[in-house]
Amino acid sequence: MAGIYVHIPFCNSFCIYCGFYSVINKQIRENYIPALKREISGRRNFFTDGTKINTLYFGGGTPSVMEIPQLEEIVQCLKENFDFAFAAGAVDKFEFTVEVNPDDITPQYADGLKSIGVNRISMGVQSFIDEHLKWMHRRHTAKEAINAYHILRDAGFENISLDLIFGFAGLTARQWRYNLDKITSLRPDHISAYQLSIDEGTALEALANQGKYLPVDADECAAQYAALQNVLAAAGYDQYEISNFARRTDTISSHVSGSGVNSLPRSISYRSQHNSNYWNKIPYLGLGPGAHSFDGSNHREWNFPNVENYCNLQTKEIRSGETLTEKDIFNESIMLGLRQTDGLDLNALNKGLLKTTLTAIARLEDEHLLLQDNIKDNAGNEQFIIKIPTDKFFISDSIMRDLFL
Ligand code: SF4
């Protein structure tokens, strides 16, 4: 099992808060596909023999600024070079996600995505209030986002994720509640909600440095996060990670237009398989400038975030890498495991290093900042799971920090 991430580093304009690597230059888009195909074939031996790819994710940037034939050319090249666990209609076995922006979605484009095998859509809505969308420099209105969602449903997409942002100046508790009610009334299959952060190099950082943007205080953000958890739980969404919620499959109902939805097997989880693979340390290959790769053990690589160099240089000159130490692996396991509601199995940690944190674990349990949940796996082996209680997720960074070496 493994995943492939393809970075499409182009946007038609920049959102105020966005720190992802992306460029607006339209001329370079034509050179990008040949360069990407060069990297794909150069990386064909990245995974060990026999590894099946079970998730494919096109992220950005904005993948939906590319034409369907361009995306199809990339998919075709990937199929020629990797062993995909494709199975017609098996949406619970192979997940192919594309991130889209609402303003790019037309019925023709949605049909095109379907025709190349995409079975999961992730769409950035961010807010249902136009004043906020304008401030964020989003290119769509709330109405356009809702319309795009219905177009995708009508095209037959049975797995749609929508993103929201909270914790920014000007978002009142009442407006946040409005956004939560609006998103749950649409019944997407998955919801991601992120607290706005001031990232380096963004327009928002410049505003903050000039004193023109004042960050929201932590108590207000915590209240909005608690509202997020409560409203989504009541609406039938299970939280499985700090920022991610999957619709319970027994809540499938007739609100979903388009064909075939009611034939979905009940076993399907709407958790993002691709992102869950990251958190569960499944190997993944990242293609495109700025993309990261991991061998599933102790080696990471990253492509430099420079699309001009990416298009002009030989494959081996575009990236760097590092071998993780036992301490790095330990800290990463803490961070990846504790962000999930499933928690972290202590058996998976280096025993010697774990000994040095047992006191901190016990103290955090006493303070009700960690829970122990000992269970048996399918083979009857005992697992010693630790979890952050979901009502403490908002302060998860500081809890994890207490366990880092
Ligand atoms: S949020 Fe998405 S659309 Fe906006 S600049 Fe970032 S990558 Fe581009």
**Domain CATH code at residue 12:** 3.20.20.70
Please report whether residue 287 resides in a domain: no
Please report whether residue 267 resides in a domain: yes
Same domain, 142 and 235: yes
Same domain, 68 and 198: yes
Q: Nearest 5°: CA angle at 137, between 134 and 140? A: 65
Give residue-wise pLDDT tens across range 395-404: 999 999 999 9
User: What is the best residue among 8, 13, 17, 20 to mutate for testing ligand 1's pocket, by most ligand atoms within 8 Å of CB?
Assistant: 20
Residue 255: the pLDDT is 39
Give residue-wise pLDDT tens across range 298-345: 999 999 999 999 998 876 688 999 999 999 999 999 999 999 999 999
Same domain, 273 and 333: no
Residue 315: the pLDDT is 67
Same domain, 107 and 34: yes
pLDDT at 261 over 70: no
Please report whether residue 126 resides in a domain: yes
**Domain boundary residue, one of 244, 279, 314:** 279
Q: Token pair for residue 320?
A: 């760097």
**What is the number of the ligand 1 atom nearest to the C-alpha of 137?**
4
pLDDT at 117 over 50: yes
**Per-residue exposure over 71-96, b if at least 16 CB sit within 10 Å of its own CB, e if not:** bbbbbebbeebbebbeeeeebbebbb
Contact 324, 300 (CB under 8 A): yes
Give residue-wise pLDDT tens across range 17-45: 999 999 998 889 889 999 999 999 999 99
Query: Whole-number mean pLDDT of the chain?
Result: 92
Same domain, 144 and 272: yes
Question: What is the 214 CA–ligand 1 centroid distance (Å)?
Answer: 22
Question: What is the 284 CA–ligand 1 centroid distance (Å)?
Answer: 23
pLDDT at 140 over 50: yes
Q: Phi first, then psi: give them for residue 170, nearest 5 degrees.
A: 100, -15
Question: What is the 18 CA–ligand 1 centroid distance (Å)?
Answer: 6
Please report whether residue 341 resides in a domain: yes
Same domain, 69 and 210: yes
pLDDT at 354 over 80: yes
Q: What would the DSSP string read from start to end of 299-355? A: EEEEE-S-HHHHHHS-GGGGEEEEEPPHHHHHHHHHHHHHTBTT-EEGGGS-HHHHH
Please report whether residue 229 resides in a domain: yes
Q: Which residue, by CA, sits nearest to atom 5 of ligand 1?
A: 14
Same domain, 119 and 234: yes
The dihedral built from the CA positions of residue 238, 257, 5 and 19, taken in this order, carries a sign that is negative
Residue 215: the pLDDT is 93
- 300 CB burial (10 A radius; 0-12, 13-18, 19+): middle
User: Helix, strand, or coil here: 75?
Assistant: helix
- Measure the CA–CA gap between 376 and 389, rounded to whole angstroms: 20
Q: How many domains does the chain have?
A: 2
Please report whether residue 389 resides in a domain: yes
Question: What is the 196 CA–ligand 1 centroid distance (Å)?
Answer: 13
Residue 92: the pLDDT is 52
**What is the number of the ligand 1 atom nearest to the C-alpha of 101?**
3
**Domain boundary residue, one of 279, 308, 338:** 279
User: Helix, strand, or coil here: 122?
Assistant: strand
Question: What is the 14 CA–ligand 1 centroid distance (Å)?
Answer: 6
pLDDT at 257 over 80: no
Same domain, 257 and 164: yes
Question: Ligand 1 — pocket residues by CB below 6 A?
Answer: 11, 14-15, 18, 20, 22, 60-62, 101, 124
53 CB neighbour count, 10 Å cutoff: 22
Q: Which residue, by CA, sits nearest to atom 7 of ligand 1?
A: 61
**What is the number of the ligand 1 atom nearest to the C-alpha of 11?**
8
Question: What is the 124 CA–ligand 1 centroid distance (Å)?
Answer: 9
**What is the number of the ligand 1 atom nearest to the C-alpha of 18?**
6
Please report whether residue 347 resides in a domain: yes
Same domain, 117 and 234: yes
Boundaries of domain holding 343: 326-405
Same domain, 185 and 68: yes
Same domain, 390 and 255: no
User: What is the best residue among 15, 127, 163 to mutate for testing ligand 1's pocket, by most ligand atoms within 8 Å of CB?
Assistant: 15
CATH number at residue 386: 1.10.10
Please report whether residue 290 resides in a domain: no
Question: What is the 22 CA–ligand 1 centroid distance (Å)?
Answer: 8
Prediction pTM value: 0.93
| Amino acid (1-letter code) at residue 275 | N
Residue 262: the pLDDT is 36
**Domain boundary residue, one of 218, 253, 279:** 279
Q: Phi first, then psi: give them for residue 255, nearest 5 degrees.
A: -60, -20
pLDDT at 266 over 60: no
Residue 76: the pLDDT is 96
Residue 98: the pLDDT is 98
Q: Token pair for residue 228?
A: 């997020």
| Amino acid (1-letter code) at residue 324 | L
pLDDT category of residue 93 using cuts at 50, 70 and 90: confident
Question: What is the 294 CA–ligand 1 centroid distance (Å)?
Answer: 24
Contact 334, 277 (CB under 8 A): no
Q: Which residue, by CA, sits nearest to atom 4 of ligand 1?
A: 15
Residue 345 to residues 122, 240, 279, 340: CA-CA distances in angstroms? 30, 16, 13, 11
